[in-house]
Structure 1
Amino acid sequence: MQHELIPDATLVRNYMSGQEAALEILILRHKQKIYSFIYSKVFDSDIAEDIFQDTFIKVIRTLKRGAYNEEGKFLPWVMRIAHNLVIDHFRKSNRMPKFDNAGEFNIFSVLSDSTLNAEKRIIKAQVEDDVRRLVDELPDDQRDVLMMRIYKDMSFKEISERTGVSINTALGRMRYALINLRKIIEKNNIVLTN
C-alpha cells in the first residue's frame, strides 16, 4: 500500500504499536503545513524550526505514553500543540527571565521568587540537587544536548553546529535523554514535585 493512501489514524496506531517508520510518514505528510503555521506566527526560521522540533517531541511523548485519543484528527491535534508552544515561546521571551548561563545551571532561575519561605527554599534546593544528580547519570552525548537545550537555551540548530551532528541526531539524543531521565526517576522513586 502506498504511504499517501494510509490514513493518519492508521499511521498513529502503527506508530503506537512500535512501527517507528509510521511517524516519519506522518511528519513528512504534515511538515509543510505545521512549519508554515509556526513560521507565520514567529517570523524567524530558527525559532520556527525549534518550535517544530519541540512540537514533535511532545507528539512522540504523548504517543509513547499512549495518551493520544482518536477523537480529533491527528493534524488539528498537532496544530494545537504547535499553537500552545508558540504561545509559550512568546510568554517566555517577553516575560520570563533568561537562564543565567554564566555559573552552574540552575533549573529554578526562571522560577525566582523572593517570597519563598525557609521550608520551600530547603525543598527547592533538595529537588535541584536531585535533578543535577539525575542529569549526571545520563550518557555524555545525551547530557550535553540536554544541558545545551534546557539550561543554555540553545536551538537544535546551534546544538547541531556545536556538537558536529545533524539536527535529527541532536533531537534523537534529546529524546533519549528525556526517556532515560524518566527511567532514572522511576528507578530511584524520586518525586520532583512537592
Structure 2
Amino acid sequence: MKSLIAAAVLATASLGSTAAFAADISNNPQALAVLDNTANFGSSFLLNNQNNTFADKFRFSITRVEHDFDAIVSSITRNASTGMDITGLSLFSNNGTLITSGTQESTGAVDIWSLRADSLGLGNYYLQVSGKMVSGTGGSFGGTVMLAPVPEPETYGMMLAGLGVVGFLARRRKAAKQA
C-alpha cells in the first residue's frame, strides 16, 4: 500500500513539474532567398505559447568572393507584455561555430536587433533569431539581410595601375603643351 501511495505522489509531482519548463517552438530552418545580395526573412507564432522559446535559423551561402554581412530584425507589439521578446540575433558557420552576436538597439513594445560581420569567406552560414513568447497572443518578427562583396586585392591593383596610367598621360599632355 505504501508503494502505491508513493507511486501516486511521484506521478503527481512529475505532472506538475513539466508545466514549469518552456517548450521549444522553433520553426524548421529556412533558406534565405538571396536576390541581388539582399533577402528578407521572418517567422510567426500562434496563440497560447506563453513562456515558450524559439531559435529560428535562416541559412545562406557565399559562393564567389568574400562578403560583408549586415542584418536587422524587429518585432512590434502593442506593449512589452504582449507578443514576443527577441533575446538574440547571432551568425553561425554551418558547423555551429558562433561568428558574431548582434546588438540590441531597442527593447519593449518594439524589439530591434542588428548584426554585422566583415569579410565572410566562402561557405555556408545561418542567422539565428532567438526569443520568448511573453503572452498567450501570437507574434511575429521580420528582418532583412544585406551582403556586400569585398573587392579582391587584384581589383585594387588594377585600380592603382589605371590611376598611374592616367597620371602618366596627364603629365605627358602637360609637358607637350609647355614645349
Structure 2 length normalisation: TM-score? Answer: 0.20
Bigger radius of gyration: 2
Query: Greater relative contact order (Cα 8 A, min sep 6): structure 1 or 2?
Result: 2
By percentage of residues, which structure has more helix?
A: 1
Structure ranking higher in strand proportion: 2
When normalised by structure 1's length, the TM-score is 0.19
